[in-house]
Amino acid sequence: MRLLGTASDKKLFDENGLRLDGRSPGDLRPIRIETDVLNRADGSAFIEWGGNKIQVAVYGPREAYPRHMQDINQAFVRARYNMAAFSVDERKRPGPDRRSMEISKVISEALQAAVMVELFPRAQIDVFIEVLQADAGTRIAGLTASAVALAAAGVPMRDLVVGCTAGKVDGKVVLDLSKEEDNFGQADLPVAIMPKSGKVVLMQMDGDLSIDEFNEATSMIFKATERINQIQRDALKKNYANTAQDWGE
Amino acid sequence: MSNVKQIVMPGDPVEVQNLKPRNGVYKCGDNKYCSQFFGILQESEQFVDVVPFTGKYVPRRNDKVIGKVIEIGPSMWIVDISSTYTTLLHMNDAPWRVTSGELKRYMNVGDYVYAKVLSINEIKESWITMKDVGLKKLEGGTLVSIPAPKVPRIIGKGGSMVNMIKDSTHTRIMVGQNGVIWLDGAPENVIVAIGAIRKVEEEAHTVGLTDRVKKYLEDKKGEIVGNSE
Amino acid sequence: MPRDELDVMSEIKRNYILQKIRKDGIRADGRKLDEMRKVVIQTNFIPRASGSAVVTLGRTKVVCGIKIEAGEPFPDTPNQGVLTTNVELLPMAFPTFEAGPPSEDSIEIARVVDRGIRESKMIDLQKLVVEPAKQVWIVFIDIDVIDYDGNLIDACTIAAVSALATAVVPASTIGQKDFPLPITCRPASVTMVKIDNIVVVDPDLEEEQIASARLTVTMAEDGHLKAMQKGEPGFFTFEEIQKAIKTSSDVGNQIRDIYPK
């Protein structure tokens, strides 16, 4: 979300070339993921990414309703991205708005690429993403946690999905935009991939980027996703410290 | 067979060598296989499987399952077996002489049934039957649910785990392949048995589980009714 | 994107399209992979609006009306005019379109079109201030889709840009002189879809139905990227994306040549 045209004397870099929060252009904010945090849901994950706090719950696969929505060939993934009223500075009126609907759509599509939906004709998989505190990059953080929740729910997938944002601030390409950088910067580029193959399943951009800047930004993103994917893996493994011996017949 | 197993995630490459890739793996390239699940890589003499830590029950023919009637049609019961899909029990596959429209008399919504999976089609519609030894409408007792992938752990090698729990607690236990478990016995005993089941569920993936469950049951001996002391 | 009335494309048609693309590098309607359908733009179609355009892109047809009204600026941007975009998929456009609140498809289309116009700074919003913090010009971009045969994003972008480029701010309604909407550039969006592993430009309805993924790239005359959107549940490799950016630069220039002067 960009606040255009606010006469901003806000300098987003200090004299050492560091960003407002002290990061270098290529630094990620701290990320922490936890799984199995909810009881009812089939799978769940909680992510903290910078100041973002996002809860994800997965239900399914389950038979799709209403009946006429069923696809006899495969399941569909329905992600619902929602921002809690208290998640942003100025209280947000509860309920889906156009932005949430678009974000829900692109997240659903990204996850649909990874989940083996062809194994579940007539079914749907619900992914609920609740942003409890927003700090820029919520759709990517939500998507990154959703992949973990789906895996934790035992949903068969081709690969996990992992993402990161990049952007342009004061003419410089930077990784993982903060809130101020998202508001006062010049470009925003969220990207998500399936890490084993590098296939891009989510990509949006707004702002102004030359083609060289775009390549620089995507290169930073691809490198960062390696680290973030490792955080996803560690979160999944954490609850399974002693691996099993005989599983029993 | 006591080597520590490998945990894998979706997309992780799976070494197949001269074994046959079976459950939980998919072809992800020329002669390359990958895991579909977050789970454990399991190698037997012939096969390579990835067993997910959790997940919905996937019906297989001849599986014994415990389900709950959720809807009644003119000629069949619609049963929830904790799977992605509901399953159907036709009146002709019930042990009673049922007439069309009279199904409620024999089994109503909310009743539980111990049945067998009869058939499944390509779009995962399935049918169950009660026409086999031991299958019946369940009366009394209590029910406990665990994720289907953990059922083999509850049963144990040749039934060793579930028999140990049954014997120590003097309870009757029927384990559905779909993760629904029925228990019956003195209330105090059922509580201990459920405790043992929950322990297995929580620690299903760990080493030394059998011993720990054994110890749990011994520790609870004093709470079990009917132990000749 | 909206599916056809049978919700199923006949296998025969599907195989025909795939075969032609794979074997001959030609699409079912004879187009080359990077060729757009015929575009016809008619501006000032609705004299009562501040600006308007009717655009046909192949058999897709959309109508864009611009209403410009004086109103209050947003509190956090007191020295700027306001821009807002809406797309209606009218039931007449397709057998399965239904009346009602905006679907996620129409929302996505509107937001992608809006971003292309907004991020390229096509309209100099700072020239739309009547009295700072009190009164500014609000530009309503409303697009009605009246016939659907694929690629609504590009049809709507062309219509919006054309209508804006010929729009007049009705300042006489507040006692001042009417003036043309201040335009700085003409962005062009180029939408491509992936069928099997082949990327084609400006998909028609049938191509959209068998496509696995969609990519829209919006650029302006300066050759910079202003907006991008990947859609549909498939994927692109990074090489495909880079190639698509190059294609959209070329095709975008072709579109710019057709825009009203």
Per-residue pLDDT tens over the stretch B97-145: 999 989 999 999 999 999 999 999 988 899 999 999 999 999 888 899 9
Q: How far apart are CA A167 and CA A184, in angstroms?
A: 11
Chain C neighbors of A198, CB-CB under 8 A: 237-238
| Cross-chain Cβ contact A233/B9 below 8 Å | yes
Q: Would you kindly state where each structural domain of chain A is located, as residue ranges?
A: 31-238
The most distant pair of C-alpha atoms in chain C lies apart, rounded to whole Å, by 64
Q: Is the pLDDT of residue A200 over 80?
A: yes
Sequence-ordered alpha helix ranges (H) in chain A: 98-114, 138-152, 179-184, 211-238
* C-alpha–C-alpha distance, residues A246 and B5, integer Å: 9
- Per-residue confidence (pLDDT) for residue A243, from 0 to 100: 53
Distance from CA of A249 to the nearest CA of C (A): 38
**Tokens, residue C175:** 């006692």
What was the pLDDT predicted at B45?
87
Query: What confidence tier does B222 reach under pLDDT thresholds 50, 70, 90?
Result: confident
pLDDT at site C21: 87
Partner-chain residue, chosen from C77, C228, C234, that has the shortest CB–CB distance to A203: C228
Cα distance between residue A190 and residue A139, in whole Å: 8
Residue C28 neighbours by CB under 8 Å, 6+ apart? C16, C17, C20, C206, C207
- Domain borders along chain B are 7-52, 64-138, 142-222
Give the list of residues 6+ apart from residue C104 with CB closer than 8 angstroms, or none: A101, A102, A104, A105
Residue in C107, C118, C224 nearest the CB of A101: C107
Residue range C172-184: mean pLDDT, rounded: 95
Contacts of A124 in chain C (CB under 8 A): none
User: Do residue C241 and residue A3 have CB atoms under 8 angstroms apart?
Assistant: no
Q: What is the ipTM of this complex?
A: 0.89
Instruction: Give the Cα separation of A63 and A71 in Å (integer).
Output: 10
Among the partner-chain residues A120, A195, A247, the one whose CB lies closest to the CB of B152 is A247
User: Would you say the pTM of this structure is higher than 0.90?
Assistant: no
Q: Whole-angstrom Cα distance, residue A202 to residue C231?
A: 8
Peptide bond just before A61 cis, omega within 30 deg: yes
Please state, in angstroms and rounded to a whole number, the distance separating the CA atoms of residues A115 and A109. Answer: 10
Q: Under an 8 A CB cutoff, do A6 and C234 touch?
A: no
A5, A205, A214 member nearest C125 (Cβ): A5
Please indicate if any CB of chain C lies within 8 Å of the CB of A109: yes
Contacts of C99 (CB under 8 A, 6+ apart): C91
Domain chopping of chain C, boundaries = 11-258
Q: How far is CA A165 from CA A223, C10, C112, in A?
A: 12, 40, 18
Q: Nearest-CA residue of chain A relative to C237?
A: A199
Q: Chain C contacts of A113, Cβ < 8 Å? A: 233-235
Helix, strand, coil tally for chain A in percent (to 5): 30, 30, 40
The whole-angstrom separation of Cα A125 and Cα B135 is 32
Contact A72 B5 (CB under 8 A): no
pLDDT band for position A16 (50/70/90)? confident
Alpha carbon distance C17, B216 (integer Å): 66
Distance (Å, whole) CA A114 – CA C40: 40
pLDDT digits (tens, 9 = 90+) for A212-236: 999 999 999 999 999 999 999 999 9
Q: Which residue of A has its CA nearest to B39?
A: A154
Instruction: Give the tens place of pLDDT for each residue, A94-127.
Output: 889 999 999 999 999 999 999 999 999 999 999 9
- Does C touch A (3+ CB pairs < 8 Å)? yes
Judged against a pLDDT cut of 70, whether residue A3 lies above it is answered with: no
Question: Who among C223, C229, C236 is closest to A204 (CB)?
Answer: C229
Task: Chain B: list its partners (3+ Cβ pairs within 8 Å).
Answer: A
Number of A–C residue contacts, CB under 8 Å: 100
Report the alpha-carbon angle B15-B21-B27, nearest 5: 80
Please answer yes or no on whether A63 and B24 come within 8 Å at the CB atom: no
Fold of the CATH domain C11-258:
Ribosomal Protein S5; domain 2 (3.30.230)
Do residues A206 and C226 touch, judged by C-beta distance below 8 A? yes
CATH class of the domain defined by B64-138: mainly beta
Distance (Å, whole) CA A26 – CA A216: 11
At the topology level, CATH places domain B7-52 in: OB fold (Dihydrolipoamide Acetyltransferase, E2P) (2.40.50)
| Chain A contact probe: residue of B84, B85, B163 with most A CBs at under 10 A | B84
Which chains are within 8 Å of C by 3+ CB pairs? A
pLDDT of C152 above 90? yes
What is the percent of chain B with per-residue pLDDT over 90, rounded to a whole number?
Answer: 76
Query: CB distance A121–B122 less than 8 Å?
Result: yes
Would you call B56 and A194 a contact, using CB atoms and an 8 Å cutoff? no
Q: For B133-145, how does the pLDDT look when each residue is reduced to its tens digit (9 = 90+)?
A: 999 999 888 899 9
A200 touches chain C (CB under 8 A): yes
The confidence score (pLDDT) of residue C1 equals 47
B7-52 and B142-222 share one CATH topology? no
What the block records as the tokens of B91 is 């009146």
Residue C207 pLDDT = 93
- The topology under which CATH files domain B142-222 is Ribosomal Protein S8; Chain: A, domain 1 (3.30.1370)
Tell me the shortest Cα–Cα distance from A213 to chain C, in angstroms: 9
> pLDDT tens-digit profile of A74-86?
999 999 999 988 8
Cα B24 from Cα A3, distance rounded (Å): 48
Q: Do C104 and A101 touch (CB under 8 A)?
A: yes
Asked if the peptide bond before residue C233 counts as cis, ω within 30 degrees of 0, the response is: no
Of B122-131, C19-28, C201-210, the poorest mean pLDDT is in C19-28
Superfamily, domain A31-238: GHMP Kinase, N-terminal domain (3.30.230.70)
Contact status, residue C228 vs residue C215, Cβ threshold 8 Å: yes
Tell the burial category of C2 from Cβ atoms under 10 Å away from its Cβ (0-12, 13-18, 19+): buried
Does A6 score more than 80 pLDDT? no
pLDDT of C20 = 85
Paired tokens of B44: 């037997």
**Contacts across the A-B interface (CB distance below 8 Å):** 121
Return the number of other C-beta atoms located less than 10 Å from residue C85's C-beta.
22
How close C168 comes to chain A (CA, Å)? 23
pLDDT-based confidence at B152, cuts 50/70/90? very high
Which sign does the torsion angle of CA A243, A247, B1, B6 carry?
negative
